[in-house]
Chain A
Amino acid sequence: MSVLIFAELEEGKIKKTSLEAIYYGSKVAEMTGGETVVLAIGEADSAELETAGAYGAVKVMHAGGQELKEANIVAYADTLTSAATQIGAKVIVTAKSSLADAVTARTAGALKAGVAGNVTELPDLSNGFEVIRSVFTGKAFAKTSINSEVKVLAIKKNAITPEISGNKAAVEDFMAPVSEEAGKAKVIKTLKETGTVSLPEADLVVSGGRGMKGPEHWQPLLDLAEALGATTACSKPVSDMDWRPHHEHVGQTGVKIAPNLYIACGISGAIQHLAGVNSSKVIVVINTDPEAPFFKAADYGIVGDAFEVLPKLTAAVKALK
Chain B
Amino acid sequence: MNILVCISSVPDTTAKITFKDDNTTFNKDGVTHIIGPYDDYALARAIELKEELGGTVTVLNVGTAETEPQIRKALAIGADEAIRVDAEPTDSFFVAEQIAAVAKENSYDLIMMGRETTDYNSGVVHGIVGQLLGMPSLSPVMELNIDGNTAKISREIEGGKEKLEATLPLILGCQEPIAEWKIASMRGIMTARKKPLNVRPAVGEGLTSVSSYSLPPEKGDCKMIPAEEAEKLIDLLQNEAKVL
- Give the residues in chain B near A189, CB-CB below 8 Å: 162-163
- A315 to B125 CA separation, bound complex (whole angstroms): 47
Closest to A74 in B: B136
Closest to B127 in A: A105
Cross-interface CB contact of B244 among A143, A179, A200, A228, cutoff 8 Å: A228
B38 within 8 A of A: yes
Contact between chains at A136 and B162 (CB < 8 Å): no
Contact between chains at A246 and B177 (CB < 8 Å): yes
Q: How far is the CB of B118 from chain A (nearest CB, A)?
A: 5
Cross-interface CB contact of B227 among A130, A204, A278, A309, cutoff 8 Å: A309
Q: Which of the segments A18-26, A58-66, A108-116, A208-216 contacts the partner chain?
A: A108-116
| Binary contact track A87-120/B, C-beta < 8 Å → 1, others 0 | 0000000000111011111111110111111100
Contact between chains at A299 and B137 (CB < 8 Å): no
Give the size range of B's interface with the partner. Answer: 35 or more
B53 within 8 A of A: no
- A193 to B140 CA separation, bound complex (whole angstroms): 18
Closest to A99 in B: B157
- A295 to B132 CA separation, bound complex (whole angstroms): 46
Contact between chains at B120 and A117 (CB < 8 Å): yes
Contact between chains at A108 and B93 (CB < 8 Å): yes
Q: Which of the segments B1-9, B54-62, B166-174, B182-190 contacts the partner chain?
A: B166-174
A296 within 8 A of B: yes
- A189 to B19 CA separation, bound complex (whole angstroms): 46
Cross-interface CB contact of B139 among A71, A102, A315, cutoff 8 Å: A102
Closest to A110 in B: B131
- Give the residues in chain B near A299, CB-CB below 8 Å: 219-220, 222-223, 241
- A104 to B161 CA separation, bound complex (whole angstroms): 20
Contact between chains at B162 and A260 (CB < 8 Å): no
Q: A115-B92, A228-B244, A246-B176 are in contact. Are A302 and B230 (CB under 8 A)?
A: yes
A68 within 8 A of B: no
From 222 to 273 in chain A, residues with beta carbon under 8 angstroms from any chain B beta carbon are: 228, 240, 246-247, 252-253, 256, 260-261, 271-272
Contact between chains at B124 and A115 (CB < 8 Å): yes
Contact between chains at B137 and A73 (CB < 8 Å): yes
Q: How far is the CB of B123 from chain A (nearest CB, A)?
A: 4
Tell me the dominant secondary structure on chain B's binding face. mixed
From 56 to 107 in chain B, residues with beta carbon under 8 angstroms from any chain A beta carbon are: 91-93, 96
Q: Which of the segments A28-36, A40-48, A164-172, A180-188 contacts the partner chain?
A: A180-188
Tell me the dominant secondary structure on chain A's binding face. mixed
B45 within 8 A of A: no
Contact between chains at B14 and A272 (CB < 8 Å): yes
Tell me the total A-B contact number using a CB cutoff of 8 A: 307
Cross-interface CB contact of A272 among B13, B129, B212, cutoff 8 Å: B13
Cross-interface CB contact of A108 among B92, B134, B142, B166, cutoff 8 Å: B92
From 129 to 154 in chain A, residues with beta carbon under 8 angstroms from any chain B beta carbon are: 130, 134-148, 152, 154
Contact between chains at B230 and A313 (CB < 8 Å): yes
Closest to B124 in A: A105
Binding site for B on A (CB under 8 A): 71, 73-74, 77, 97-99, 101-110, 112-118, 130, 134-148, 152, 154, 179, 181-182, 184-194, 196, 198-201, 204, 228, 240, 246-247, 252-253, 256, 260-261, 271-272, 275, 278, 281-282, 284-285, 295-305, 308-309, 312-313, 315-317, 320
22 contacts between A and B (CB under 8 A): A74-B136, A98-B123, A102-B139, A105-B124, A109-B93, A113-B93, A118-B121, A136-B119, A140-B215, A144-B210, A145-B208, A179-B134, A190-B162, A193-B159, A256-B121, A271-B14, A284-B237, A297-B219, A298-B219, A301-B223, A312-B231, A313-B230
Please provide the 3 A-B residue pairs with the shortest distance between their CB atoms, ordered closest to farther. A105-B127, A304-B227, A109-B131
